Structure 1
Amino acid sequence: MLWIKALHIVFIVSWMAGLFYLPRIFVNLALETPGPTSERLLTMARKLYRFTTVLALPAVVFGIWLVVLQYGANMPGWLHAKLLGVFLVLGYHHACGALLKKFERGANRRGHVFYRWFNEVPVLLLLAIVVLVVVKPF
């Protein structure tokens, strides 16, 4: 079980690193006018989104495996709240993909300030999830 937990943590850290950086690319894309620099940023964003998606899959699979091994159907309340946080992170990941598609189509209508705030969402979600896992408040 410790191997599964270790792999889960490694993939979570890697996935979150991608989710921290991708919106920073969006900030720069929102500041750029169409041209070579924006094309380079779009290429970076596409590659990072794909790689981050690949990292999310084993993170979720190892997490489900841990829940099944450790709790089965008797999950404590804090774990329900943590799973809600995970679903919110998955939703955020999906939202990043939708925003990337808007940038690719040239349909982005949001400014860099929006993306600076949007970039804070995964930090808050990670904070809540880590507190739930470590403190187990209920």
Structure 2
Amino acid sequence: MDPYLWVKALHVISVIAWMAGLFYLPRLFVYHVERREEVPAMLPVLEIMERRLLRGIMTPALVATWVFGLAMIWMGGVDWSTAWPWVKAAAVLVMTWFHFWCAGQRKALAEGRSAVTGRGYRMMNEVPTLLLIVIVVSVIVKF
């Protein structure tokens, strides 16, 4: 059994879990800001969902993604003389920034101080999709 393939599989599993959260959390934010006036009783439920998603799934998946990704680099699985790993690395850094931006927004929403609108969260919800496209194309095409 090739240990590199096991690390790669665990990396892909971690990325999928992380991406699922990155797609879903901003959608919860949309519901949070658009329903806070109409259905205030819904806010505690949304806050629990947001917090548990971030702490229970997204952050552990972020850490695992980084650990297994760095392990693959350490195992020699990346040719840094080509462009694709640099493009992927940049996109992963932006994706990590987005994760922490979401964490900050979750806290701001819980404290009632977020100024982002539902439309703003919808637009930000597209960020992980665009980054995912860049990452997958760079890894598969290896330009």
| Alignment TM class, shorter chain as reference | over 0.9
Paired position in structure 2 for 1:56: 62
Q: Which amino acid aligns with 2:48?
A: T
Paired position in structure 2 for 1:2: 5
Paired position in structure 2 for 1:116: 122
CA deviations 1:28-48 (Å, max 9, x no partner) are 001022622011001100100
The 3-state SS of whatever aligns with 1:70 is: coil
CA deviations 1:45-77 (Å, max 9, x no partner) are 0100112101111111100111121257x5132
Bigger Cα displacement from structure 2, 28-37 vs 95-104: 28-37
Q: Which amino acid aligns with 2:63?
A: L
Give the fraction of aligned pairs with identical amino acids, expressed as a percent.
Answer: 36
Q: What TM-score, normalized to structure 2? A: 0.91
User: In 1, distance between residues paired with 2:65 and 2:116?
Assistant: 31
Q: Which amino acid aligns with 1:27?
A: V
Bigger Cα displacement from structure 2, 100-109 vs 32-41: 32-41
The 3-state SS of whatever aligns with 2:75 is: helix
Q: 2:105 aligns with which of 92, 95, 99?
A: 99
Q: 1:26 aligns with which of 29, 38, 43?
A: 29
Q: How large is the Cα RMSD of the aligned pairs?
A: 1.3
Q: What TM-score, normalized to structure 1? A: 0.94
Paired position in structure 1 for 2:94: 88
User: In 2, distance between residues paired with 1:33 and 1:134?
Assistant: 42
Where structure 1 has 5 or more consecutive residues not aligned to the other structure, the ranges are none
1:14 aligns with 2:20: no
1:77 aligns with 2:80: no
- Change in 2 beyond 3 A, CA 1:71/1:3: closer
Off by >2 Å, runs of 4+ in structure 1: none
User: In 2, distance between residues paired with 1:63 and 1:96?
Assistant: 22
User: In 2, distance between residues paired with 1:5 and 1:67?
Assistant: 10
Paired position in structure 2 for 1:46: 51
CA deviations 1:83-129 (Å, max 9, x no partner) are 11110000000000111111011001121111111101000000100
Where structure 2 has 5 or more consecutive residues not aligned to the other structure, the ranges are none
